[in-house]
A and B are shown apart, each in its own frame.
Chain A
Amino acid sequence: MNIFVNERPVTVEADATVALVATLCKPDADIFLCNGAPVPTTTRLQEGDRLVLIRRGEIPTPEELDVLMAARHTPGVHARLKRATVGIAGCGGLGSTVAVALARVGIGTLILADFDVVEPSNLNRQQFFVDQIGQRKVEALAATLARINPAVRVVPHAVRVVPDNVAALFGPVDVLVEAFDRADQKAMLFETVQREFPDKPLVMGLGMAGWGRNDLLGVRRSGSLSICGDDLAEAGPHAGLMAPRVGVVAHLQANQVMEILLGPDPHIARLEQARR
């Protein structure tokens, strides 16, 4: 039968166990994952299974890394995400966190735009480090993303996003993430997208000040527009922006990008159906 070992096609005898294939392909492996989950070495493999064999602590080659990093992905997802391009407008609390999540899952290309530099008040919620203070955010973030997943192509634009450059910056993206801090910037991006490419999926973040109240955070959709947040808690005096709540909304946005690119998760749909 034919299976995949570290994403390479391999022919093995029918009913071969994980242990047998490991002996043949990677005898020093001590981590065994099949179809996205850890398995015992006694597991009998089936046609088409995707087995990943890892030696704990071993630094893989860049090509191997790309495969091994996706060993906990649902099978098939990584290849589809690799073909996608996502734009992120603004690289602050939302944008930097969305970028980190999407780099970890291996989005093919991330286009980043932000004119600003890293300063200390960013560090309570944004994915930057003390030694990056003073650096342009897009450059600091590109450096961090390269450390997380070198297979992701990152295109940093150290520019202010204005109506005149939205089409040039984000024309090629499959999904655009709105990740600005100010409401007027959010409005500018929405209105420009409506004018330039009204059908392009746009994922906005609205309402994330304060802490707690996880129950109010969610996603609502209206055509090609998705809105993540509580739609309520505006940032301002006595309403701060802090890592946990901003981070939840950023991850709602990143998760929404996944759903737009991949469609609804069929496994979750089956589980939901079975519970009814």
Chain B
Amino acid sequence: MLKVNGQQIAYHDGMTVTDVIRAMKFNFPLLIVKVDGVYVPRDEYSNRQVPDGSEVEIIHLISGG
């Protein structure tokens, strides 16, 4: 299991940040992703594996100010 934004989701072997984003149905182009509190740069989403039991935070950046 993973905890993503406080919500439990199913884990599978080799799951990457990209897989987590897909599983959460995030389609925002601009995200901030942290795995266990550590920031993951955008260009590492597809090859950064997320260990089972991790806490993932995904913040979507939206316009307005």
Contacts of A235 in B (CB 8 A): 62-65
A190 to B63 alpha-carbon distance, docked (Å): 14
Contact with A along B15-44 (1 / 0, CB 8 A): 000000000000001101010010101100
Q: Are B37 and A223 closer than 8 Å at their CB atoms?
A: yes
Contact of A227 among B37, B59, B64 (CB under 8 A): B59
Q: Are A234 and B30 closer than 8 Å at their CB atoms?
A: no
Between A and B, how many residue pairs show CB distances below 8 Å? 72
Q: Are A234 and B64 closer than 8 Å at their CB atoms?
A: yes
A235 to B42 alpha-carbon distance, docked (Å): 23
Contact of A205 among B59, B60, B64 (CB under 8 A): B64
Contacts of A223 in B (CB 8 A): 34, 37
Query: Which residue of chain A has the shortest Cβ distance to B28 in the bound complex?
Result: A183
Beyond A191-B41, A206-B59, A222-B57, whether A241 also contacts B65 by CB under 8 A is: yes
Q: Are A183 and B61 closer than 8 Å at their CB atoms?
A: yes
Residue among B29, B42, B59, B65 facing the most chain A CB atoms (10 A cut-off):
B65
Contacts of B30 in A (CB 8 A): 183-184, 186-187
Query: Which residue of chain B has the shortest Cβ distance to A250 in the bound complex?
Result: B65
- A106 vs chain B, min Cβ distance (A): 25
Contact of B64 among A181, A184, A191, A225 (CB under 8 A): A181
Query: Which residue of chain A has the shortest Cβ distance to B29 in the bound complex?
Result: A183
A198 to B39 alpha-carbon distance, docked (Å): 9
Task: State which residues 229-261 of A face B: CB under 8 Å.
Answer: 229, 231-236, 241, 246
List B residues at the A interface (Cβ < 8 Å): 29-30, 32, 34, 37, 39, 41-42, 57, 59-65
